Structure 1
Amino acid sequence: MTPLRWPATDPVAGRVRLRAFRDTDLPMVLDLATDPYVPRISTLPADADEAAALAYIGRQHGRLAEGRGFSFCVALTDDSAAVGTAGLWVDDLGHGRFRGGYTIAPGRRGHGLAGDALRALTAFAWTLEVAHRVELYVEPWNVASLRTAERAGYVCEGLLRDHHRIGGAWCDMVLLAALRPVSGG
């Protein structure tokens, strides 16, 4: 069990807010299920039907209670429409290490929403007293995600060979990290 608590107010950056998932987010989750990559790295089945997508939404509500971390729906600030997902996962609470992740539904990509989501996620991380470091693991071929992370202030720390097993194959990962800002004094 983790001492972490759900935020009292939704984290916001740019055009997005991070909020709890709702059953009304179903169209966005169904869109995500059409992406060939997202089901390989998440618990969302490829080409999920409505029942499987609603089960995925339901699982997101228990992540914090399970001690895994925070699973957010990325929503637009103006109308609260769901556009993607973001997660802040506990990797090593004792050392203040968290792992971030984000994805935007295929129908909403190309508008900078992933960067807004990552900035909101990172700013939220610094509200957690125990957070010292947020790490991202991105496959080297995912140039758009690497650029998004760097624009959001993450620093590339190196290539980790055969670091993650995805779809049955070992994959290299680029490690990027953000460190808690030092308070001026």
Structure 2
Amino acid sequence: MLPDHLPRIEHPPVRLRAFEPRDAGLVVSVAGDPLIPLITTVPSSGSPADVQAYLERQHDRLPAGQGYSFAIADAATDEAVGQIGLWTSEIAAGRATTGYWIGGAHRRRGHAGAALAALTDWAFSLPEVERLQLHVEPWNEASWRAAERCGYQREGLLRSWQRVGAERRDMYVYSMVRQWDP
């Protein structure tokens, strides 16, 4: 049975933890990002009410049965730098999906790869998770390289997979499968 609480995962240089009110500044900082609000539930307005609603939604994901939403925090400072989730809508089939974003001011410091490694290790400690997958636009080299560094394998190109803004976009699909000891 999947955990009914959001754990705190220490994996220097990052820590995965619940979102806190002090993380509102991060959400405001990515509200104007050209991509993050289009493919996530981050509000594009950055208004205090919308940011508060976003933070509350992250806490509601687990009780609603959608999965686990973590703030990615710098392990040294505990400052939130992004978000990563483990989405469990297909867990009955042994599959889970992950996705992540890093605020612009915090990119190119290894946070995405470290967070993905931490989430992957934790997810595979759960008996229900046999396959993890993620989707990345082909142009997003930093994201798919982070996945590859963590051991994810590109399985193919999903044409017109997801609506991003007003258009459908292709996505690479990456996966990692549980390695069973014989």
Runs (5+) with no aligned partner, structure 2:
none
Q: In structure 2, the residue corresponding to 1:61 is in which secondary structure? A: helix
Distance in 1 of aligned mates of 2:25 and 2:150: 28
**Shift of residue 93 of structure 1?**
1.2
Q: Is residue 21–residue 61 contact of structure 1 (8 Å, CA) maintained in 2?
A: yes
**Structure 2 match to 1:110:** 108
Distance in 1 of aligned mates of 2:51 and 2:179: 37
**Structure 1 match to 2:56:** 58
**Shift of residue 12 of structure 1?**
2.5
Correspondences of 1:1-185 after superposition (within 5 Å):
3-7=2-6, 9-183=7-181
Listed one character per residue, the Cα deviations across residues 96-149 of structure 1 (whole Å, up to 9, x for unaligned) are 100101111111111111100101111111121100011010011111111010
Distance in 2 of aligned mates of 1:64 and 1:174: 27
Q: In structure 2, the residue corresponding to 1:45 is in which secondary structure? A: coil
Listed one character per residue, the Cα deviations across residues 123-179 of structure 1 (whole Å, up to 9, x for unaligned) are 111121100011010011111111010001100000011111121321111000011
Distance in 2 of aligned mates of 1:105 and 1:161: 27
Q: Is residue 4–residue 64 contact of structure 1 (8 Å, CA) maintained in 2?
A: no
**Shift of residue 64 of structure 1?**
0.8
Distance in 1 of aligned mates of 2:89 and 2:53: 25
Listed one character per residue, the Cα deviations across residues 8-41 of structure 1 (whole Å, up to 9, x for unaligned) are x412223001100100111111112121100001
Distance in 1 of aligned mates of 2:2 and 2:142: 34
TM-score by length of 2: 0.94
After alignment, is 46-55 or 139-148 more displaced? 46-55
Q: Taking every aligned residue pair, what percent have the same amino acid on both sides?
A: 41
Q: State the superposition RMSD in angstroms.
A: 1.5
Q: In structure 2, the residue corresponding to 1:44 is in which secondary structure? A: coil
TM-score by length of 1: 0.93
Distance in 1 of aligned mates of 2:5 and 2:156: 32
Q: Is residue 11–residue 17 contact of structure 1 (8 Å, CA) maintained in 2?
A: yes
Structure 1 residue ranges (4+ consecutive) displaced by more than 6 angstroms after TM superposition: none
**Shift of residue 80 of structure 1?**
1.1
Aligned residues: 182
